[in-house]
Structure 1
């Protein structure tokens, strides 16, 4: 399973979904899906925009987690 750390990154910077949407140009719905970890796909341009906004690497935003644990 892929875990998305967007909620943690947003919390650290005290950003709301609308703040991230405005800063990245991404649709609020996409950000909400990632925030709630219910997204089933994401565009590479969206990953790039989020990594640039949070000044992080892809591995800081997403993590592969073992489902058996």
Structure 2
């Protein structure tokens, strides 16, 4: 897949937050990133994520990477 093509990675952050009764602002505070950066991720507009941020999100939400992201069929 050329870099110019849109990715098919889907973020399930909104569902995970809802299941845990947590707000995006609370997650941002717990993880140490801005609400804007998490919003970009939640709305599937992110082009990259640091492993340290990904690890922190999973730790706070008590989830695995596979619960946070999936790949949509081609």
Bin the TM-score by the shorter chain. Answer: 0.7 to 0.9
Q: TM-score if structure 1 supplies the norm length?
A: 0.87
Partner in structure 2 of residue 57 of structure 1: 64
CA distance in 2, matches of 1:35, 1:4: 6
State the aligned residue count: 67
Q: Does 1:47 pair with 2:49?
A: no
Picking from 6, 23, 47, the partner of 2:13 is: 6
Q: What CA RMSD, in Å, does the superposition of the two structures yield over aligned residues?
A: 1.0
Q: Rg: which structure is higher?
A: 2
Distance 2:43 2:21 in 1: 16
- The answer to whether structure 1 residue 23 and structure 2 residue 30 are counterparts is yes
Segments ≥4 residues shifted beyond 6 Å: none
TM-score of the superposition, structure 2-length normalised?
Answer: 0.82
Structure 2 Cα separation of the partners of residues 38 and 10 of structure 1? 18
Q: Give the gaps of 5 or more residues in structure 2.
A: 1-7
Q: Which stretches in structure 1 are left out of the alignment for 5+ residues?
A: none
In the TM superposition, what is the alpha-carbon distance from 1:7 to its structure 2 partner? 0.7
